[in-house]
Amino acid sequence: MKTTAPKLTRQHFNFIADLFGPKMFPTEIAEIADRLAETNPRFDRERFIDRAIKAYEANNVPHELRDMS
């Protein structure tokens, strides 16, 4: 049985990136981006990955490394 993905919008993608980005490794984020691209032809894969990785880094990079930049 094949499931049909709903058409998602930028607001959905931002929500997903902000909520799940901190909980996934960057390689998993890229895999999710590939799947999300199937839901909307206008999906900006790179924008999603950038936002999710920023959320990941903000929540997973050790504090002492954050102060170095």
In a domain, residue 28? The reply is yes
Mean pLDDT of 40-56: 95
Query: CA-CA distance, 12 to 28, in Å (whole number)?
Result: 18
Work out whether the CA dihedral 12, 17, 19, 25 comes out positive or negative.
Answer: positive
In a domain, residue 36? The reply is yes
Whole-structure pTM value: 0.78
Is residue 67 pLDDT above 90, yes or no?
Answer: no
What is the tally of structural domains in the chain? 1
In a domain, residue 25? The reply is yes
Gap between the terminal Cα atoms of the chain:
49
Domain that holds residue 15: 10-66
In a domain, residue 5? The reply is no
In a domain, residue 32? The reply is yes
